[in-house]
Amino acid sequence: MYSHNLMKNIIRHFNIIYILFLFIFLFPAIYLFPQERHNNCIECHSKFEEEETSPTIEFKNDIHNTSGMLCSDCHGGDPEINAGGNQELAMNPKKGYKPPPGHNEIPEFCARCHSDFEYMKKFNPNIRVDQYENYLTSQHGKLLAKGDDKVANCVSCHKTHGIRKKTNPASAVFANKIPETCSKCHSDPEYMKEYKILTNQLEMYKKSVHGEFLLEKGDLNAPACNDCHGNHGAAPPGVESVHNVCGVCHSGNNQLFLKSSHKKYFDEFGFPECASCHEHHLIKKLTEESLGVGDQSVCGICHTQEDEGGIIAVEMKNIIENFSALRDTCQILSEEVERKGMPVNEIKYQMNNVDSELLKARNIVHSFSLENIKQITEEGTKLAISVKKMANDELKEYQIRRIGLAVSLFFIFLAGTALYLKIKKIDKKNIINSF
């Protein structure tokens, strides 16, 4: 009876219980699992934007999208009103909608967020917010401020709606994409014709050691355009600061150059430091051929056979040439020892030391001091001579073993022949006996 009444009561109050249930369980669920923010901008735009490069399609993998931002975070307007429906209501100036910024307004447009650390740190506490500030100091930023609409702004390098994190290999500013990104403009003579600067940077860069390492071998340690020009402060380094640019990675050469007397002379004459001998975009491997004062020499650009620099340059060339030739002899001997199957481990180990002495010698060239180079190559030469002796000893040992082998083979042959004759003799005896 009691339970029958209870059932009745439950049925009677079902509506109230149902609503209570909704409140208790579903309401918090809305907060725990918020619905995706509504975006009528994309709903409507994707109906007529079909090209690969149109905003809604490119935006799919854009960092601003994947970090949860909407079209309206940049363009303003109301993305939630009237799903998919009315253009005027969505792109409503009263809701902050503004037509897209023009070329000269873009840096400020992006800087609204990117220079605001309070805002940016919510997404990434380590993010830099100095891009705009640096950009203003660049040749691009300076000319843009004067109304130039051809220099790079943020979207020339980052794209507009397909922006990726710099660490994403698909980003237009990922290390191995940068040379192409910069050269869209810089290698287009038509585009650059009103400016009085060269347009061969990419062509030269591709032929350089750096281009070869980055673009062909995929070595991300090799510099792209931005490593020498800065990401946002793009300007050619002044002639007196080229050493800083190169010194970031080649600190040994840099330290030697700074201490050398050349630093003072180069500043006096306005020579562009490292680039005077290595060029700046067409950087090649140099060897002892570049010393001395001959045709291939870089010292010969400024020195003659008669002046002090020239005389020393020729001596340096001879010293490194001799050392390098001795090293090559050691290498050939070492390979021969290996081919003959003689023990070669110690020789190879010492060859590595000779090679590193030769590297040191090529490096110490940057002190432009005969004393320094003599000291390094003297040690290296001693080492190379000892390697040469070790290799020659092994080859001698091989000869001795070969002679030893030949002699023992000779005796084995003799013994064999004697045995053969003996057996034949016994056989003959046996045949005669059998008759």
Separation CA 294–CA 288 (nearest Å): 11
Residues with Cβ within 8 Å of residue 207, at least 6 apart in sequence: 282, 284
Q: Min. distance of Cβ 256 from ligand HEC in angstroms?
A: 8
Separation CA 229–CA 173 (nearest Å): 14
Looking at residues 236 to 255 of the shown chain, list those that interact with ligand HEC (rule: CB under 6 A).
236-237, 239, 242-243, 245-250, 253-254
Give the DSSP per-residue string, 149-170: SSS--HHHHH-SS----TTSTT
List the alpha helices (DSSP H) in 68-212: 71-75, 87-90, 106-114, 117-120, 131-137, 139-145, 154-158, 178-186, 201-207, 209-211
Among 38, 61, 104, 166, indicate the residue that binds ligand HEC (CB under 6 A).
166
- ∠ at Cα 26 (24, 29), nearest 5°? 110
**229: its two tokens:** 């020009």
Are the beta carbons of 60 and 161 closer than 8 angstroms? no
Verify binding: residue 107, ligand HEC, rule CB under 6 A.
yes
Verify binding: residue 376, ligand HEC, rule CB under 6 A.
no
Nearer to ligand HEC, 70 or 390 (CB): 70
- Nearest one of 274, 210, 208 to 241, comparing CA atoms: 274
Are the beta carbons of 157 and 179 closer than 8 angstroms? no
Secondary structure percentages of the chain, helix, strand, coil, to 5? 65, 0, 35
Among 215, 228, 337, 391, indicate the residue that binds ligand HEC (CB under 6 A).
228
Verify binding: residue 234, ligand HEC, rule CB under 6 A.
yes
Applying CB under 6 A, which part among 15-23, 310-318, 337-345, 407-415 lies near ligand HEC? 310-318
Verify binding: residue 367, ligand HEC, rule CB under 6 A.
no
- Nearest one of 304, 182, 164 to 232, comparing CA atoms: 182
Verify binding: residue 290, ligand HEC, rule CB under 6 A.
yes
Looking at residues 131 to 160 of the shown chain, list those that interact with ligand HEC (rule: CB under 6 A).
131-132, 135, 139-140, 143, 150-158, 160
How many CB atoms are closer than 10 A to CB 361?
25
Nearer to ligand HEC, 143 or 395 (CB): 143
Verify binding: residue 100, ligand HEC, rule CB under 6 A.
yes
Among 227, 240, 338, 355, indicate the residue that binds ligand HEC (CB under 6 A).
227
Applying CB under 6 A, which part among 16-24, 27-35, 287-295, 410-418 lies near ligand HEC? 287-295
Q: Min. distance of Cβ 378 from ligand HEC in angstroms?
A: 16
Verify binding: residue 323, ligand HEC, rule CB under 6 A.
no
Nearer to ligand HEC, 40 or 344 (CB): 40
Verify binding: residue 52, ligand HEC, rule CB under 6 A.
no
**315: its two tokens:** 């001596």
Are the beta carbons of 262 and 312 closer than 8 angstroms? no
Verify binding: residue 327, ligand HEC, rule CB under 6 A.
no
Among 14, 17, 23, 73, indicate the residue that binds ligand HEC (CB under 6 A).
73
**369: its two tokens:** 């001091």
Q: Min. distance of Cβ 263 from ligand HEC in angstroms?
A: 9
Applying CB under 6 A, which part among 6-14, 347-355, 365-373, 382-390 lies near ligand HEC? 365-373
Among 144, 162, 215, 283, indicate the residue that binds ligand HEC (CB under 6 A).
283
Separation CA 104–CA 148 (nearest Å): 8
Among 144, 162, 215, 225, indicate the residue that binds ligand HEC (CB under 6 A).
225
Verify binding: residue 309, ligand HEC, rule CB under 6 A.
yes
